[in-house]
Amino acid sequence: MTKTLSEIWNEVDGCRLCRLCETRTTIVFGVGDPNAEVMFIGEAPGKQEDLGAEPFIGAAGKYLNTLLSHAGLKREEIYIANILKCRPPENRNPLPEEMEACTPFLRDQVQAINPEILVTLGNFSTRFILRTDRGITGLRGQVHLTGRFSVIPTFHPAAAIYDPSKKPFMEQDFVLLGRLLEKRRAEKAQRLVAEKCVQPAADEIRLPATEETSDECFS
């Protein structure tokens, strides 16, 4: 059964499943619109996130906010979570046992939000979501399908800050995200119209014919 975000939070709260509980300041659960069409998945909280209890509020987060504009998105429209909910000391890479302990929470979050599109930021989240050993450089730049989700893998924003030659590729990936969203929204609007054609609501049928209601749907 799908858990709600607050049920998942109750399970994460006070978690001691791995040793990161000994060094964390706060648990960084995730933030954003619980009905988001797009969910972003990062790696693990950094220093700012560990202090502020929110993903992507440091330098990488500021760059992420800029990138969102290339997709026509605002931060409050998306949901963001990480592979790990607690900061690894000195921002080292997540260990396999930490990922094993923590990713069931992420899986539940993905199910609770049920987004249409997942954007994976960097190698760790991309490998986890796409269940692959391939690196991000070969996977980015296209839309992948896994289960019912479309997945757009891209570099981690921190990697692009460190190596600015990655920035144009990230921007391309966010433009791709914007186009996919537009296409999805247009398809959804068309489906709604088609459903209305098949099953017009009772009060619509009673309306006197006007230019709007006497279109080809009803003729």
CB of 12 to ligand URA, least distance (A): 15
CB of 44 to ligand URA, least distance (A): 6
Q: Which of residues 176-205 bind ligand URA (CB under 6 A)?
A: none
Residue among 32, 168, 27 at smallest CA distance from 102: 27
DSSP helix/strand/coil, 42: strand
Nearer Cβ to ligand URA, position 90 or 212? Answer: 90
Q: What single letter denotes the amino acid at residue 96?
A: P
Nearer Cβ to ligand URA, position 78 or 158? Answer: 158
Parallel, antiparallel or unpaired: strands 144-146 and 149-154: antiparallel
Nearer Cβ to ligand URA, position 31 or 143? Answer: 31
CB of 212 to ligand URA, least distance (A): 47
Interaction mask 104-143, ligand URA, x per CB under 6 A: ----------------------------------------
E strand or H helix at 81: strand 79-82
Residue among 132, 178, 137, 179 at smallest CA distance from 155: 137
Q: Is the backbone of residue 15 left (phi > 0), alpha (psi -120 to 50) or beta?
A: beta
Parallel, antiparallel or unpaired: strands 117-121 and 79-82: unpaired
Q: Which of residues 21-80 bind ligand URA (CB under 6 A)?
A: 42-46, 49, 55-56, 60
Sort 61 into a burial class: Cβ within 10 Å, 0-12 / 13-18 / 19+: buried
Query: Should residue 8 be labelled a site residue for ligand URA when binding is judged by CB under 6 A?
Result: no
Q: Give 45-48 contacts, CB < 8 A, sequence gap 24+.
A: 45/82, 45/84, 45/85, 45/86, 45/87, 46/87, 46/91, 46/158, 47/87, 47/91
Q: Which of residues 156-175 bind ligand URA (CB under 6 A)?
A: 158
Candidate residues 82, 109, 123, 126; the one interacting with ligand URA per rule CB under 6 A:
82
CB of 156 to ligand URA, least distance (A): 6
Nearer Cβ to ligand URA, position 162 or 218? Answer: 162
Which residues form the interface with ligand URA (CB under 6 A)? 42-46, 49, 55-56, 60, 82, 158
